[in-house]
Structure 1
């Protein structure tokens, strides 16, 4: 979620100041105040932080935010800057501040293990996370983060995920049944279906059952306040005032708490998640306290977490933390998997040969479904499709942190500083802001070779096709998609199993094509996380032409 905040903070393209005198006055006032505030920090960083080269400052107020926002793909801008200034460079930010961007594998491998200790959430990220999901795992640092993570770990163990695999298939088959009915009522045996909307339904129903033993019934047409709030947030356009607040929030974190239209939707989502979480939490507590046998007790993720709420537990978590984890599960379960599944269907629609090969591999399961072990290790092309989708389209596009103390970051390739000196390490002063451009690194030619921008599942079947620089990354399968270190995505195994199970059902059952042909343009729309959208569509719609596979 912190990456969501980081993304919004630099998305300034929608802000048109024109003749808005109130904002003009506010900008001038805040700028003057900020300049005085920055003097001491700038002097300190000027002495201790390596002065790097970087792109020129486009605006003293907005920094280079508009450059990144106006680009169809900010990852390409980050990559161009890396080619020009080296694998570590400085990018101007709002109101005269700057941040260091790291595109060097050795630097990235140094950074991630030190998250929650040396590199912590920025104040604006922490405020935004607390506002959306409370003081849970995503919000915490240091020992608190370690304790909360341990309390959640049993819910994401291999044993737990193996048991939940049937839930993933059940959701996929509910979607299949609904699509069969749609196709049956359409002449010609094909229909245009907004697949992103259906992937949302699959994701929310799956996390509801697997996470809380609660069926939202979204796949059966039921509505809920939680789903309505998610949809409203993902379709809402940021207002001038809310964009202005987010733009300056990195300098003034309290702005994130001021009322604005987007903030009202966030509060609505928070309230909806809080209400359903209280009901589910109380039900699970009563089940455990009521003396239910071990076999009858709730085995959902949250059911296992509640056992850590007991004050006698070595990993005692507070009621506030339990509620925060529930909200986090809803957000992550709804957003990330639905986005990744949608991108997979888009890529397979562009690449009909890849779709054919995947279907051919899955045909061995014409009368049954792959089990958990087969999903993990027995379907190499399915694995390649999933990994390649996650490489090209990570739901979290960048990670930005604040240095809590001074540090020295090693580099695999030396860079030239602003003074012309060549250095193989960076000195980082306390309070320096650093960014890892996840999407950029995942798609970088320097890391992945000349076909880095292409959808090529075969690169995962033969690891020898992965270039040397990518192999230097320590994350999952050399990707930054699930991060690394203490903040490695705890739900990685859950997400991968769900992704593969759902995709296996859909590709065995249906063929997908781009509604408007192979030249269809896909753009990235703003939501809680960036989502794919067919250019010209409203909201985050991805209509594909779907037909049955005979």
Structure 2
């Protein structure tokens, strides 16, 4: 009797597996070049990634699989309708991969970047008011102040050089200072004083996000499939622990200070600050609001995200390499006159808007989004696709556990979506006709059809802060200074292969961008 039951269960299991395999779409893709890493190491290079994804989408169709570690493949979505379907189900049907869950938890805890499903929805709801248009409108003065502090400091460096009347400035370091002070004051009600020359562990540990090493990269690649590797004393793991301790201490102090101010009635404005809203949402139960630990974790998230909001370093590099565009942008900013408000930055400076959009298109800080399917899913397509079996299908069925990837940065540079000059820095594209490519990307509902901020439930919470910061800072700096590449117009700038894609001069070990800065005289 027991033997019959075992045989019955085994038969049912095999039948279920067979049926699943029959339903699963056989997706085409490139052959693995390496039995250990597959294409994982090749795809660390963002330039190679863009080229390869475009090539593979053309050759194998808008949904294809790419071999990774030990032959395990990831499914890449290149089709706009498929991507829209994915984002509509993100955090629910598609959850973060085990590697991402561990990596995020180790670095910034179980905050909104870690959570999925109902937990993510609850935490996101608590944070949304702090990043509304009304909230950012009231913080615009903070961003202008940070930019004007930078003008004073750069004027001092230029005046100290009486011979050339210019200064070679590492703009990336200064953009980091602007970001930290803006995020500190605007988001967490704390002045780190980076623009005033104050040194701190916070600045050092945040800058460490740009560091990388080959050995660490190899192990991190393997950890995608074997997350327990993250328990080893890797450089990035040690950084995560240090980051957690330092940032946790700072955030805990700020939360404690705000709690005391509220208790004594001295923080009426604090309730409108990000910290005030965190404490307002803080509750002891799991069903509503935030727990005290979640409030701390959210503060860590906000500090890290705020530090990385500005893409101003890339913007200044692009302007230095394109003097005609720099001049046109300066003319618009000078003609505008006084310091622009939030609404002015949003609606009344069209060329500044175009430049910012183009920088965000070409230099997305997050290169791709990997997710694990929590159950079988049928993904619709914009047009029929040929499968590995030679058939044509209008949808793709993937089994539970499949890792699905949205290649954000590569989609932003897709020729099929942005035209033959997709890889060129061309702000004028935002004023021109779509040249037949707009229809290919109109299903993407992200900001301006860009994938830079993602889409769906996890669309970047701080996108309005990031856009406003970048515009406010560029407006002030471009009005006051002219920028050139320090080593001449032919110098090549590449992405640093660290945790975050910061620029660096080709051949340089450090992640820095020295520009020659001159005072602009009308």
**TM-score normalised by length of structure 2:** 0.93
1:491 has 2:462 as partner: yes
Output aligned runs, 1:86-485, within 5 Å: 86-186=61-161, 187-235=163-211, 237-238=212-213, 240=215, 242-292=216-266, 294=268, 296-297=269-270, 299-311=272-284, 315-337=288-310, 340-366=311-337, 368-462=338-432, 464=434, 467-485=438-456
Secondary structure of the 2:138 match is: helix
Q: Which runs of 5+ in 2 are unaligned?
A: 1-13
Q: For residue 509 of structure 1, what is the aligned residue in structure 2?
A: 480
Cα-to-partner distance string for 1:29-87 (whole Å, 9 max, x where unaligned): xxxxxxxxxx9999887444311111111122211113323574321211111121111
CA distance in 2, matches of 1:436, 1:89: 11
Change (3 A) 1:289 1:348: same
Secondary structure of the 1:269 match is: helix
1:308 Cα deviation after fit: 0.7
1:272 Cα deviation after fit: 0.9
CA contact (8 A) 1:133 1:324 kept: yes
Cα-to-partner distance string for 1:303-360 (whole Å, 9 max, x where unaligned): 22211114599942011111111111111111242xx111111111111111111111
Cα-to-partner distance string for 1:148-202 (whole Å, 9 max, x where unaligned): 0010011011111111000000111111110000000112211111111110000
CA contact (8 A) 2:505 2:512 kept: yes
CA distance in 2, matches of 1:549, 1:446: 40
Change (3 A) 1:292 1:312: farther
Secondary structure of the 1:320 match is: helix
1:458 Cα deviation after fit: 1.8
CA contact (8 A) 1:151 1:315 kept: no
CA contact (8 A) 2:168 2:515 kept: yes
CA distance in 2, matches of 1:369, 1:41: 66
1:492 Cα deviation after fit: 0.8
**TM-score normalised by length of structure 1:** 0.88
Q: Which runs of 5+ in 1 are unaligned?
A: 1-38
CA distance in 1, matches of 2:356, 2:179: 16
Secondary structure of the 1:193 match is: strand
CA contact (8 A) 1:195 1:342 kept: yes
Change (3 A) 1:316 1:71: closer
CA distance in 2, matches of 1:155, 1:476: 19
Taking only aligned residues, the RMSD between alpha carbons, in angstroms, comes to 2.1
1:543 has 2:514 as partner: yes
Secondary structure of the 2:380 match is: strand
CA distance in 2, matches of 1:164, 1:541: 29
CA contact (8 A) 1:45 1:432 kept: no
Q: For residue 490 of structure 2, what is the aligned residue in structure 1?
A: 519
CA distance in 2, matches of 1:450, 1:436: 22
Q: For residue 60 of structure 1, what is the aligned residue in structure 2?
A: 35
CA distance in 2, matches of 1:381, 1:347: 14
CA distance in 1, matches of 2:287, 2:324: 53
Change (3 A) 1:78 1:530: same
Secondary structure of the 2:217 match is: helix
1:287 Cα deviation after fit: 1.1
